[in-house]
Amino acid sequence: KAGVTQTPRYLIKTRGQQVTLSCSPISGHRSVSWYQQTPGQGLQFLFEYFSETQRNKGNFPGRFSGRQFSNSRSEMNVSTLELGDSALYLCASSSGTGVFYEQYFGPGTRLTVT
Amino acid sequence: AQRVTQPEKLLSVFKGAPVELKCNYSYSGSPELFWYVQYSRQRLQLLLRHISRESIKGFTADLNKGETSFHLKKPFAQEEDSAMYYCPPRGPNNAGNMLTFGGGTRLMVKP
């Protein structure tokens, strides 16, 4: 079965621009979570979507938003990019919720803001 | 709020030596803890979960509620164990699949 895919894999943007990242979960998985990974802050939870509804949100400014489509694919958007938004953005999908359900991570999208 | 501390940023051992990666947590409610591993150029992946009580790749982890610890152990480290290790708790129960990651520990196993 195909794993979680993220597009694009690499992205370079200029400060002030906006960016949209895409995540395709494993087939049948309805939960998609997003994380930001930076050398300074490590891995931080952004938000989770389940069946097109945002179920939880991390402590990030409103410039970070997301959505999920009926086929469970998810996008996250960052508006008015700042240099500090440079990071690896990971998404993870799961078929359920709870300790018995594994979260499968994608390879990430590396965003560089100049 | 959930919080996890992995006190060692880097742990370096020789092949064949025992290894213990420390993980301390603070948690409200019943803890759900995992160990995730990221090998070089690979995706973050689940290694084991606290309810499993099984050995994965020779690794075991015991949840100690009294000490609020969930240390990862392996009696004989192998070079292929070199990776970044995280022990994020999930939850609380109304937080879906949210994982709270600490800083992680980089394990280097020298030949």
CB nearest B49 (choices: A31, A99, A108) = A99
Q: b/e for A36-57, b at 16 or more Cβ within 10 A? A: bbeeeeebbbbbbbbeeeebbb
What's the Rg (C-alpha) of chain B? 13
CB nearest A99 (choices: B90, B102, B103) = B90
How does residue B94 score in pLDDT terms, banded at 50, 70 and 90? low
pLDDT in tens, B15-30: 999 999 999 988 777 7
How does residue A63 score in pLDDT terms, banded at 50, 70 and 90? very high
- Nearest Cα of chain A lies from the Cα of B60 at a distance, in angstroms, of 17
- Nearest Cα of chain A lies from the Cα of B8 at a distance, in angstroms, of 14
Closest CA relative to residue B52, chosen from B38, B37, B24, B72: B72
Q: Taking a C-beta distance cutoff of 8 angstroms, is the pair B36, B85 a contact?
A: yes
Closest CA relative to residue A62, chosen from A35, A80, A49: A80
CA A39 to chain centre: 17
> For A83-99, what is the mean pLDDT?
93
- Which residues from B are below 8 Å from A when comparing CB atoms? 32, 34, 43-46, 49-51, 86, 88, 90, 95-104
> For A77-103, what is the mean pLDDT?
93
When comparing pLDDT for A99 and A42, which is higher? A42
**pLDDT tops 90 at residue A102:** no
pLDDT in tens, A1-59: 689 999 999 999 999 999 999 999 999 999 999 999 999 899 999 999 999 999 999 99
Sign of CA dihedral B60, B65, B70, B71: negative
**pLDDT tops 70 at residue B93:** no
- Nearest Cα of chain B lies from the Cα of A86 at a distance, in angstroms, of 18
Closest CA relative to residue B89, chosen from B22, B23, B20, B43: B23
Residues of A in contact with B50 (CB under 8 A): 99
Residues of A in contact with B51 (CB under 8 A): 99-100
When comparing pLDDT for A101 and A17, which is higher? A17
